[in-house]
């Protein structure tokens, strides 16, 4: 029996797992940095500060500034990103195929992200896939960020599922740690923003290079 058949609840990280959001995050970061006369961040630099929440992203993006007020910087970033969060973001290869397959099989899907849920909902709505997910959970709903497992526990409860029948798919060590802390199966994709060697050392239950590989598990 395949993992698709064994599991009832499929939890997904967002940035770097379902969708490559880095180009839009980069645009917002550089819009903010320009306000302070700072150079543009490269895409690689941007990818390295995604995944641990908005406060972390902004703090890391202004470390080379002088006397920058965090609250002001966050307001600049948030306003721009709210209006431009889905201009360049795209699904990773195989994601839409898998989401459609899970929907056909009547599996429950949810997003567990350190990104604020209203940004996730906005992006997924603009990309026409928000209604695929029973729940979109972020730190504005559950304060404890990953790798704390509280968002996972909440999703399992809301879905009426069990840990044994739940799987978490992510792209970073924090996603793997979250799944392990919650006692559920962990799958890590290599196409995201996580460091490959760190991911391997964290020992997820499954490591895949493409979303389509989920079908074979």
**3-state DSSP assignment of residue 2:** coil
At 30 the pLDDT is 98
Per-residue pLDDT tens over the stretch 105-148: 999 999 999 999 999 999 999 999 999 999 999 999 999 999 99
Q: What is the mean pLDDT of residues 29-43?
A: 97
Which homologous superfamily is 3-20+89-216 in? Answer: HAD superfamily/HAD-like (3.40.50.1000)
At 142 the pLDDT is 95
Range list of H helices, the chain: 3-6, 22-35, 43-47, 54-61, 70-84, 95-104, 117-126, 150-159, 173-182, 196-202
Q: What is the mean pLDDT of residues 165-184?
A: 98
| pTM (2 d.p.) | 0.96
At 85 the pLDDT is 97
Phi, psi angle pair for 191, to nearest 5°? -85, 0
Q: How far apart are CA 160 and CA 114, in angstroms?
A: 23
At 139 the pLDDT is 96
At 65 the pLDDT is 86
Residue with tokens 């395949």: 2
Q: What is the mean pLDDT of residues 181-207?
A: 97
At 151 the pLDDT is 98
Question: In which band, very low, low, confident or very high, does the pLDDT at 1 lie, cut at 50, 70 and 90?
Answer: confident
At 137 the pLDDT is 97
Provide, rounded to the nearest whole percent, the portion of the chain with pLDDT above 90.
94
Per-residue pLDDT tens over the stretch 46-92: 999 999 999 999 999 999 988 999 999 999 999 999 999 999 999 99
Q: How far apart are CA 2 and CA 213, in angstroms?
A: 12
At 4 the pLDDT is 79
- Whether residue 208 contacts residue 189, with contact meaning beta carbons closer than 8 Å, is answered with yes
At 60 the pLDDT is 97
Q: How far apart are CA 12 and CA 18, in angstroms?
A: 7
Question: In which band, very low, low, confident or very high, does the pLDDT at 3 lie, cut at 50, 70 and 90?
Answer: confident
Higher pLDDT, residue 1 or 9: 9
Provide, rounded to the nearest whole percent, the portion of the chain with pLDDT above 70.
100
Average pLDDT, the chain: 96
Counting Cβ atoms within 10 Å, is residue 216 exposed (0-12), middle (13-18) or buried (19+)? exposed
Boundaries of every domain in the chain: 3-20+89-216, 22-84
């Amino acid at each position: 029996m395949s993992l698709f058949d064994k599991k009832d609840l499929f939890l997904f990280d967002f940035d770097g797992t379902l969708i490559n959001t880095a180009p839009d995050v980069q645009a917002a970061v550089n819009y903010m940095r320009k306000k302070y006369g700072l150079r543009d961040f490269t895409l690689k630099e941007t990818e390295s500060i995604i995944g641990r929440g908005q406060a972390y992203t902004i703090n890391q993006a202004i470390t080379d500034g002088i006397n920058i007020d965090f609250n002001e910087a966050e307001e600049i970033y948030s306003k721009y990103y709210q209006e431009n969060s889905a201009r360049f973001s795209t699904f990773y290869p195989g994601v839409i195929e898998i989401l459609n397959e899970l929907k056909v099989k009547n599996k429950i899907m949810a997003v567990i992200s350190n990104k604020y849920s209203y940004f996730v909902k906005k992006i997924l709505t603009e990309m026409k896939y928000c209604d695929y997910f029973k729940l979109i959970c972020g730190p504005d709903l559950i304060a404890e960020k990953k790798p704390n497992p509280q968002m996972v526990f909440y999703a399992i409860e809301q879905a009426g599922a069990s840990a044994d029948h739940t799987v978490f798919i992510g792209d970073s060590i924090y996603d793997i740690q979250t799944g392990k802390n919650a006692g559920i199966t962990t799958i890590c994709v290599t196409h995201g923003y996580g460091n490959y060697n760190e991911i391997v050392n964290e020992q997820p239950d499954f490591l895949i290079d493409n979303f389509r590989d989920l079908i074979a598990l």
